[in-house]
Chain A
Amino acid sequence: MTLPIKETRHPDKVLAVASSGGHWVQLRRVVPAFADSEVVYVTVLKSYRSEVPENRFYQVNDATRWNKLGLIMLATRLAWIICKERPAVVISTGAAPGFFALMLGRWFGARTIWIDSIANVEEVSLSGSRAGRYADLWLTQWPHLARSEGPHYAGSVL
């Protein structure tokens, strides 16, 4: 499903989404790929704003699959952010905020990238496996987890 608002997207805007800790650290390591674009960050800790002072920045709540109200709040806020920013590309390294950002981003006509965390050595994360259907580029960081139908392997954050 794609809402009919594609023409208003900002062609050089990338929405970069991650929860805290390792997901954020990994996101920061892939953002140099978007040096020529405007990168807008979405994460769960306000204190990360100081690491990206030049960029637009949004805080969202984190939520797990057991916290339904939290998930609804998270999805609502992300829908508002995506509506407002109209990014051309949405990228995430995990977890719940990234899943919803890819799903909603796709609905709003963005192209989407999921990079599953390098911490997921034995299997792709739950959010990563669910994000696959909404990802135009669906990546794992471990060759042995790559599958012909995705996720694919194309290097790692290290």
Chain B
Amino acid sequence: MIFATVGSQEPFDRLIRAVDEWAAARARTDVLAQIGGGAFRPKYVQFTDFMDPSEFNQVLRTASIVVAHAGMGSIISALELGKPIVVMPRLAEFRETRNDHQVATAERFGAQGRIIVANDEQDLPQKLDLALTLGETARIDTQASPRLIATLRAFLKGGPCQLDPEASADESRADGTKLVSYRRSVTEPQSFGVESLTAPGDRK
């Protein structure tokens, strides 16, 4: 089964129309779309406007691939179940979001090889064909990175939070944990692909 979703907030007719046309062209009768109350009503694929979380998770579990907007809810939910996911970013020029942040999200996550990005409706059919050749991948952990969890635990206990492991040792205080200065940034993108679930200094 192929599951198309526009997320919990707004419709995304450009995506659903493209999925509907692709399904018709490939004669796929196993596509289910969650369309978020969109004005475009699919002619070929089955659809529903919204789903409860339990229903959403159940459909997701049975899906072989997922096609979605470039929203983190959809992306993370698919990765947690190891489903190949094709995302098409919403664009501000079509009033699909207020800005183009989904383009940046898709680019960044696509470059890490964990999602497949379709830039627009012309690009979508070939990316869906590609995704169908992929099997399920390793599921990601269901909780945040150990470093973030440890930081939050330390904060909760009222202890010092180590906020930047890149800062050199001589910048740290005598207790060795509380850092007195922070480096502005590191340049490499954070990595969480299948082979590289570890970001530098992030996981054991």
A residues at B contact (CB < 8 Å): 14, 20-26, 29-30, 32-34, 37, 45, 47-48, 50-51, 89, 91, 111, 113, 115, 117-122, 136-137, 139, 141-148, 152-158
Contacts and interface: CB of A to CB of B under 8 A. Distances in A.
B10 to A, nearest CB: 10
Contact of B163 (A26, A154, A158): A154
A158 B187 contact: no
Contacts of A157: 76, 144-145, 148
B64 to A, nearest CB: 21
B192 A48 contact: no
Given A117-B72, A153-B163, A20 B8 contact: yes
Contact of B146 (A24, A115, A155): A155
A96 B192 CA distance: 28
Nearest to A36: B156
30 contacts: A21-B72, A21-B74, A22-B7, A22-B72, A33-B144, A47-B53, A89-B155, A89-B156, A113-B155, A119-B72, A120-B101, A121-B101, A137-B155, A139-B148, A139-B151, A143-B185, A144-B187, A146-B164, A146-B184, A147-B182, A152-B164, A154-B161, A154-B162, A154-B164, A155-B144, A155-B145, A155-B147, A156-B145, A156-B192, A157-B145
Contacts of A136: 155
B197 to A, nearest CB: 9
A111 B150 CA distance: 17
Nearest to A27: B144
Contact of B151 (A34, A146, A154): A154
B192 A22 contact: no
Contact of A50 (B52, B102, B143): B52
Range, interface on chain B: 35 or more
B58 interface: no
A148 B52 CA distance: 41
A78 B79 CA distance: 32
Contact of A22 (B76, B150, B163, B164): B76
B92 interface: no
A32 B75 CA distance: 20
B177 interface: no
Contacts of B186: 143-144
B180 to A, nearest CB: 10
Q: Which among A24, A32, A51, A91 has the highest number of chain B CB atoms within 10 Å?
A: A32
B185 A122 contact: no
A30 B104 contact: no
A136 B155 CA distance: 9
A33 B140 CA distance: 17
A118 to B, nearest CB: 6
Nearest to A138: B163
Nearest to A141: B190
A103 B142 CA distance: 29
Nearest to A88: B156
Contacts of B152: 30, 33-34, 91, 113, 137
Contact of B145 (A20, A142, A145, A158): A158
